[in-house]
């Protein structure tokens, strides 16, 4: 009893330490990282036009049809929640309010991960992998839809696993409807949703659960119709504004490598990839030895299906390319939970007894330590990975405001000439000072 109590106390202290560290880093990011290029485009072009103009429905129709400028940059759930936050507080052009929705999703993500860990449905490896991803944590501090979508994919994954364990059809409905919301947050979630759908279909066929189709035909029909609408919308916005974070040339091998190592900084990518591959091979050997059922590796199967869907989509359509960069963050919770599944598979077979059990425990500690080390080394609270020059646009904008007509023509020659980088700061300064700095910046 005392040993169990001590282990629970360790779990609480360990998780509390990690969560506090992440929240402190989050606050520092909110304070140090100015509104980035894409955040500014979302806020000025989409949020402002929807919530502060007479053309609300016209703006909605334009966005859904894909004809709005930078439509692919508009993550609709994020845009709507920013507008609601601003309308509720009456505060405009405030970085904390603009990023408040993603902060709420961070808290939800941390709470859900903590709950799964404390209730011992995931190990410390899975818990640490879920919350200690520097790249994902960074996006929880930015007003974009990627982290929101990742949080929703995590919730959908846990609902789906509860359906597998408890066989209650409500959880399968909740899982797939949560994925729809994730797609509204970012349409790139279509890929991981398709992987879940295929796994669901395979599970019905393999385990002969045909009666569930009869019971769930209405929710399933609604889900299929919603998916069709989102696919049409996705094709519209990518036709006019293709993502820069997809490429055809990299191949499926590079997709797998990037997906499995997205949490690792450059110095650790090979090491971390080797660890994950080793875990996978060990589990394959254990499955062959003990003839383990597929239900022990649901999320691993979903991840493999995700890779196959990406490969098939690129091969059949000849358009677009494999996801990379921040688009891969949407599938990251499945990656973290799949890695935890691999550990659970080893633990279940070894029963944690004798020398093998001690070796597995050391391996758990070693992998958890690697994740923490990658997290610490990969964390930067002073600038955004994908928009490292955001502070230069902010500083240059306010310098232009202070110098006004005295600004020499070449004053901003060292800064990226794309004026979209100044868009948010231009509108903010116009709102606060009624001055247009574009007249002071050489185009």
The residue ranges of every structural domain in the chain are: 2-34+101-378, 389-443
What pLDDT is attached to residue 324? 82
Nearest to 342 by CA among 325, 363, 358: 363
* Residue 97, burial from CB neighbour count under 10 angstroms (0-12, 13-18, 19+): middle
What pLDDT is attached to residue 289? 78
What pLDDT is attached to residue 414? 44
Residue 248 is given by DSSP the state S
Average pLDDT across the chain, whole number: 84
Joined together, the tokens standing for residue 349 give 């077979």
What pLDDT is attached to residue 423? 85
Task: Tell me which H or E stretch contains 228.
Answer: helix 217-240
What pLDDT is attached to residue 212? 79
What pLDDT is attached to residue 328? 93
What pLDDT is attached to residue 5? 76
Q: How many helices and strands in the chain, by DSSP H and E?
A: 21, 2
What pLDDT is attached to residue 352? 58
What pLDDT is attached to residue 59? 56
Q: Cβ(175)–Cβ(160) under 8 Å? A: yes
Residue 140 is given by DSSP the state T
In three-state secondary structure terms, 307 is helix
Joined together, the tokens standing for residue 13 give 């202290």
Joined together, the tokens standing for residue 70 give 């930078």
Matching residue, tokens 């185009």? 443
Question: What dihedral do alpha carbons 230, 233, 235, 240 form, nearest 10°?
Answer: -150
Residue 312's contacts (CB-CB under 8 Å, 6 or more residues apart) are none
What pLDDT is attached to residue 74? 74
What pLDDT is attached to residue 235? 77
Strand 322-323, strand 246-247: pairing = antiparallel
Low-confidence stretches of the chain (pLDDT < 70) are 1-3, 53-72, 239-250, 292-294, 316-320, 350-354, 356, 404-420, 440-443
Task: Tell me which H or E stretch contains 247.
Answer: strand 246-247
Residue 393's contacts (CB-CB under 8 Å, 6 or more residues apart) are 34, 37, 415, 416, 421, 422, 425
Task: Summarize pLDDT for 130-181 with one digit per residue, the tens.
Answer: 999 999 999 999 999 999 999 999 999 999 999 988 888 899 999 999 999 9
Residue 385's contacts (CB-CB under 8 Å, 6 or more residues apart) are 135, 138
Instruction: List, as one string, the DSSP characters of 58-116.
Output: HHHHHHHHT-STTGGG--HHHHHHHHHHHHHHT--S-HHHHTHHHHHHHHHHHHHHHHH
In three-state secondary structure terms, 322 is strand
User: For 323, phi and psi rounded to 5 degrees?
Assistant: -60, 150
């Amino acid at each position: 009893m005392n040993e169990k109590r001590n282990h629970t106390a360790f779990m609480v202290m360990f998780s509390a330490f990690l969560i506090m560290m992440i929240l402190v880093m989050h606050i520092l990011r909110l304070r140090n990282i100015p509104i980035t290029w894409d955040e500014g485009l979302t806020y000025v072009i989409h949020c402002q036009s929807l919530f502060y103009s007479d053309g609300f429905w016209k703006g909605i129709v334009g966005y859904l049809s894909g004809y709005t400028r930078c439509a692919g940059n508009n993550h609709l759930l994020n845009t709507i929640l920013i507008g609601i936050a601003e309308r509720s507080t009456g505060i405009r052009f405030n970085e904390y309010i603009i990023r408040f929705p993603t902060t709420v999703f961070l808290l939800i993500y941390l709470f859900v991960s903590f709950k799964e860990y404390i209730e011992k449905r995931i190990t410390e490896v899975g818990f640490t992998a879920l919350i200690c991803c520097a790249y994902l944590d960074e996006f929880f501090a930015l007003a974009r839809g990627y982290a929101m979508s990742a949080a929703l994919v995590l919730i959908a994954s846990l609902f789906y696993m509860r359906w597998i364990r408890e066989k209650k059809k409500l959880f399968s409905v909740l899982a797939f409807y949560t994925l729809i919301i994730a797609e509204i947050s970012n349409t790139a979630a279509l890929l991981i949703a398709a992987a879940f759908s295929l796994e669901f279909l395979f599970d019905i066929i393999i385990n002969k659960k045909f009666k569930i189709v009869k019971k769930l035909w209405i929710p399933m029909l609604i889900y299929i119709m919603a998916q069709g609408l989102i696919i049409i919308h996705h094709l519209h916005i990518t036709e006019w504004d293709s993502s820069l974070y997809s490429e055809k040339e990299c191949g499926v091998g590079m997709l797998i490598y990037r997906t499995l190592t997205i949490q690792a900084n450059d110095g650790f990518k090979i090491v971390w990839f080797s660890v994950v591959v080793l875990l996978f091979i060990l589990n394959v050997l254990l499955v062959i030895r003990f003839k383990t059922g597929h239900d022990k590796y649901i999320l691993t199967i979903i991840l493999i299906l995700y890779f196959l869907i990406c490969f098939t989509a690129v091969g059949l359509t000849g358009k677009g390319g494999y996801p990379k960069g921040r688009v891969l963050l949407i599938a990251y919770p499945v990656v973290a939970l799949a890695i935890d599944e691999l550990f659970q598979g080893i633990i279940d077979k070894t029963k944690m007894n004798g020398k093998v059990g001690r070796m597995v425990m050391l391996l758990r500690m070693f992998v958890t330590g690697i994740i923490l080390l990658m997290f610490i080394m990969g964390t930067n609270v002073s600038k955004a990975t994908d928009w490292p020059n955001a502070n230069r646009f902010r500083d240059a904008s306010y310098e232009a405001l202070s110098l006004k007509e005295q600004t020499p023509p070449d004053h901003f020659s060292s800064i990226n000439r794309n004026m979209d980088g100044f868009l948010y700061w231009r509108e903010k300064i116009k709102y606060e000072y009624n001055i247009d700095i574009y007249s002071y910046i050489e185009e």
